[in-house]
Structures are given as structure tokens and as C-alpha cells.
Chains A and B, each alone.
Chain A
């Protein structure tokens, strides 16, 4: 429990991190450092993107799997680390 908080704190303290959201396999956010409305918005949108990216990778090569996804925009960057298919995904904003 404390380890989870510690880990989040370590990631949050990196340079340029605006917030962290942890989402479960259904796309529902379970931990977040951003405000409610942004969290819900990000979680909904990113979940679909991750599912699509993962299915793309696996369709090309079934032995392969998605390890990391980065979406870079003009103003900032979203970095996504997916978990196993039954577990959670994690997102962090740059």
C-alpha cells in the first residue's frame, strides 16, 4: 500500500510529469493525481487507443505484444505503459 504511493511519488517527481492515471482493464481509472473530470476524459479516450494499438501489434505478429505507447502532441506528450491483458494500464502525462 505504502509502496504503491511511494512508486507514484517517484514517478510524479520526475521532470515534466503533469499527472499519473492508473486504469484497470475495463478502462475505469483506479488511481489518479489529476482532477476528476480530466481523469475520466483521459481514461475513456486512451483506453480505446491502447486496445487498438495492442490489437494492431498482435495482428501483425501474434507472438509480439505492445510494451509502450507514446502520443506526442504540440503541447505535451502522453506515455502509456500497458499491463497484462487482465491487469491494469498506466498512463502518465509529460
Chain B
């Protein structure tokens, strides 16, 4: 009854759906074959040559030449005739005018206070209780280098020591950790940055060696080392300085030690050593004494140098202060041979002393020549006084009582001709202004912590507001000075001139 049925399927065509396949075409292409060829050559001989320009001063434009044979530019004579009267009248009136006396204008903000910006210290030196023996600012004014050692040690010590550097302009300045630390085998007693290359720094060691470090080298910063040769010092080097040599732009290192020798070295950076350029020895007999001094020293006849100053005005003069209080003016070009037997030196020793000033009663720790007057310099030592001398007279012009204990360093301010600062053994830094009538200091920087001495200080020549002070507790304070200690007032140069022209009684 039921049967299977098979029906055809029905399909309905779609009205809207079409094939999605679009048109397609294919093509081929190929570049032509690339031609290549090969040939070999070889140089038969080579030559090498280099050129270099000398560093030159800024080129100046040519003026219209003043040729005396040429006729004057037209109208010059008439113009001058017309103008001369008016100009002379104004000049005369100016010379007599009091209109601007005491009138001062200030464009910037003035800070009234002396304040401590940073107190820098390094952990290892704090642990070992090292003292700061010397501070130096780099020529750019942003890096300060501090040398550590001991100032109270009389004996040979083989303690390792450090030189630490901080870059104050860096944002991540950490006052309790130095940016760069250089290990040194013995205590460092003197430090000086190169005047134009910001990475070179010269140091004098307790063992008598002189080192130049190059802080741009990552591995071994030692650029040159004197080592213990016949030429080098045998006693601690108390002062190093960079002196300009004959060739313009080159600097040599000058080192002075308590063995009585002052040596000038040139740096041979390829071989890492120093070459002795000139040597001076100070011997008691050859130092010209002024008539008021007539002691005869027994024992060693060398004059131990504890401080040295170069004159920025006269490249031939330098000043030397000794352990016995002698203050001498010396000359680089002296030809007199020294009276000590030379012990294997490569350069003959010369006696440089030309003039001797009235001696101090104690070792002279520091001398500094004024950057504003060619004849003035200030010196200080263990007698607690700062003496202002003129190069022309044996007696000091002025003696100021700085403190009751030793004075370790004095330095003139780089911006105010009448101001100088002195670091004392009581931990204070006294800043004196010679324009004030009284003999008391214009400002006193007191450091916290009793019983520690301020052993060194340095003004920053690029940022004249900054003064760095190193202490015997291993810290370095960077102080900002108030505006009246750094801004020059109109009559200062003439006041300085007056002081310099006084005749000491």
C-alpha cells in the first residue's frame, strides 16, 4: 500500500548572488642580464702627510688703512673742528661732576646672605677619617675636585688616599657620594686643575711624586707620573701649578716641595712620564737677606717650600714661602747656579731667589697674588695674621689678625679687588673687605662641628658666587656668597691702587 517515492529535487536560482571572481590577468617581466666586471689594483708606494692649523686668536677685520701719504677723508678736519669743543666741554664737566657718586643700579636679584649650598663628603674617606688637603675648581667651573690626606701627620705614612670629584651642575648630584673617585697610593698634598682643558688635573703626593690625571679616560686615569727618579722630589710636594711654557698654548707643571726644590716639568702623555724642563733649588746661603735678619741657620741648608704663587701679571715672577717663614720673590729666568751639589739631575739647578721680604714667624701656608693689581699679594701662615705685601717693598703694607690659630689658606676674590678670604684652624672662613674702615672681617663663615679646621678654600672663577671650603673632618662645603661680596663697586680699583701705593713704615 505505501511505496517509496523518489522525487526530483527542486533548485531555485539565486537572483542576487553572483560570482565574486573579478577579472584577472597575469603578466611576467624580467630585467635584462646585469653585466659585471672585476679588476684589481694595488698601490705601489704610499706617502703620508698631515697638516694642522695653529690655534689662532680671533681674526679681526681690517681697519681702513691709515696711510699717512693719503689725503684725509673729506670733511674729517671740519667735523673734528666742529665737534672738538663740545667733546672737551663734556669731558671737563664729567671730571668735575658729582652727579653719579654713590649711584648704583642693579639689574639682577641680589642675595643678602651667605648660605651653604652643598656639603660634600665621601663615605670611605669619612670612615678613615681623612682630612681634605686641597680643593680645586675645573676651568669650566662646574666640577670640584678634593684631595684627601692628613695635615697633622709628621711621619711618613703609607696610607692610601683618594681624589674625589663632584659635578655640581649635574641634576643627580649626590652630596654623600662622589661622582668620580681616583685611588692614590699615598696622601695627596696638592691639587690643581688645568687652566683650559677641563679633564686634566695635576696632583702632588706626600711621597714627592707628581701625577697628572686625565678624567676623560675611563680605565686608568693616570696620564703621567714622575715616579721616583733622580729628577723627582724626595719630600712632600706642597704645591703644583700649571705654568705657560714658551710655546703659546702649552702648559707645564710646576711642583714645589719641602726639600727646597721647585721643578718645572713638561708632560709626555704618550709615554706617560714627565720630562724635567727647569729646576730651581733654594739654598739658605743664596737667599738674599735683608739687613734686619741676621740669623745663621745650622743643619740643613735647604729652604723647604710650603707655598708658591705665580704672578698673573708677570710670567717671569713667582713667590715662594718656606717652612722657616721666609718669603721670597723668585724669577724663572735666573741664571745663577744653585750652591747644592746636583745629585744626578738631568737639568742644572738654578737659584731663583731675587728679593726677600720680611720673614714671618712660622711656616707660610699660603700666598696669593692679586688678580687686580700687579704689585699686591697676600700671605698667611701659622702666626694667625694675613699680611698684605707689595712686590716692591720688604715690609708688609698691612697685617690683619685673622684668627688665634693657624691660617691655612688665603685667596683673593676673583671679582672684587678689595676682598680676600682666609681659612683658619678654628674652622671658620673669614672674608675681609679692605674697603671697610675697620679691621674686622666683612663676613665669617662658621662651619658646624667643633674642633675641626678649615684646611683649604677656593673661589670659583666662572661662578664667582661660589666658594668651596675643605675641612679636616673630610667634608667640603660649597657656599654661596652674598651679592655685596661678589659685585664690584665703582671705586674699588682706585682704592686698591691707593693701598698699594702706601709706603710701609
Within 8 A of A (CB), among B453-505: 488-490
Bound together, the chains give a CA A14 to CA B88 distance in angstroms of 7
Chain A's closest residue to B65 (CB) is A30
Tell me which of A36, A40, A83 contacts B79 (CB under 8 A). Answer: A83
* A62-85 contact mask (Cβ, 8 Å, vs B): 1 or 0: 000001101010110101010110
Task: Report chain B residues within 8 Å CB of A7.
Answer: 80-81, 84
B24 near A: Cβ within 8 Å? no
A60 near B: Cβ within 8 Å? no
B7 near A: Cβ within 8 Å? no
Tell me which of A11, A39, A72 contacts B100 (CB under 8 A). Answer: A72
How near does chain A come to B62, taking the closest CB pair, in angstroms?
9
Chain B's closest residue to A8 (CB) is B80
Label chain A's interface by main secondary structure: mixed
Could you tell me if B91 and A22 are in contact, using CB atoms closer than 8 angstroms? no
Could you tell me if A90 and B80 are in contact, using CB atoms closer than 8 angstroms? yes
A94 near B: Cβ within 8 Å? yes
B170 near A: Cβ within 8 Å? no
Bound together, the chains give a CA A11 to CA B79 distance in angstroms of 14
Could you tell me if A81 and B83 are in contact, using CB atoms closer than 8 angstroms? yes
Could you tell me if B91 and A15 are in contact, using CB atoms closer than 8 angstroms? yes
B249 near A: Cβ within 8 Å? no
Task: Report chain A residues within 8 Å CB of B490.
Answer: 74-75
Could you tell me if A4 and B77 are in contact, using CB atoms closer than 8 angstroms? yes
How near does chain B come to A8, taking the closest CB pair, in angstroms?
8
How near does chain A come to B324, taking the closest CB pair, in angstroms?
42
Could you tell me if B75 and A88 are in contact, using CB atoms closer than 8 angstroms? yes
Closest 4 pairs (CB-CB, A-B): A14-B91, A81-B83, A15-B95, A7-B80
Tell me the A residues contacting B by CB distance below 8 Å. 1, 3-4, 7-8, 10-11, 14-17, 22, 24, 28-32, 36-37, 39-40, 67-68, 70, 72, 74-75, 77, 79, 81, 83-84, 87-88, 90, 92, 94
Chain A to chain B contacts (Cβ below 8 Å), 27 pairs: A7-B84, A14-B88, A15-B91, A16-B94, A24-B73, A29-B63, A30-B63, A30-B73, A32-B63, A36-B60, A37-B58, A40-B61, A67-B86, A72-B100, A74-B104, A75-B488, A79-B90, A81-B83, A81-B86, A83-B75, A83-B82, A84-B79, A87-B75, A87-B79, A90-B79, A90-B87, A94-B91
